[in-house]
Amino acid sequence: MAKARRILFVCEGNLHRSPTAQQLYAATPGIRSRSAGLSDLARVQVTDELLAWAHVIFVMEKRLRNILQQRFAESLVGKELICLNVPDEFQFQQPELVVLLTEKLAPHLGPPNIDDIPDATPDSPSRKMRDGNDRDRGDSVAGFRGGATNGDAFSLTNLNLNLNPGGIIGGFSGAVFGFLTLGPNFKAGMTQLILICIVGGAFAGNLLWRLLFGQPKSDRETEDNIE
């Protein structure tokens, strides 16, 4: 029996675009899909082991393709590397993103094994629900550092921090730092500043913990996934 094609999808934060592509083809016969991000704060980071595992690598943007080629030149030798040109302006499993990925990937992988493609028309209820809320907040970590994109208010709704113990400690420390810094000058309108301190501390703690102790077991490669 022929071995399944191993497909790796790469974006920046591994929060929206690449995980959506991974799930899109998760149940497609003959394909095994995984995803990762190039950011140091990505949920699952690109590694030499992941690149060695993959037969084909799909990158969401030319900018990310260039970064990947610079960092992992040796690991990419002999690998098929394809840029999809999917911009960082979608939510995880957003219908418009699913439709776009399907159109981009079908010529290479065939149609995904899903019952239906979500409605991405301008008047669809799912699209109306997002308008004015999370529209255009993508999976780049740069968006998190700025707190919001395109004028949206800072929100923790879609950060998907996937905290390790270092992140929890960092978030708590950030909260304490925020309250001590503001002190008696704290006002209700400063809640967002406290949230920024918490998220900043959580990200810093997460990254430090990974540097010191490695990634959590849930994000590591397993023997079953690397053949």
Give pLDDT tens digits for 19-48: 999 999 999 999 999 999 999 999 999 999
pLDDT at 176: 75
Report how far residue 130's alpha carbon sits from residue 94's, in angstroms, rounded to the nearest whole number: 9
In sequence order, what are the residues at sequence separation of 6 or more whose Cβ sits closer than 8 angstroms to the Cβ of residue 117?
A: 95, 98, 99, 102
For Cα atoms 96, 46, 6, give the angle at the middle one, nearest 5 degrees. 70
pLDDT number for residue 138:
53
pTM of the full predicted structure? 0.57
Question: Does the structure show a pLDDT above 70 at 168?
Answer: yes
> Could you tell me which residues come within 8 angstroms of residue 65 by beta carbon, excluding any fewer than 6 positions away?
59, 81, 83
Q: Residues, the chain, total? A: 227
Mean pLDDT, residues 131-155: 40
Report the C-alpha gap between 28 and 16 in whole angstroms. Answer: 20
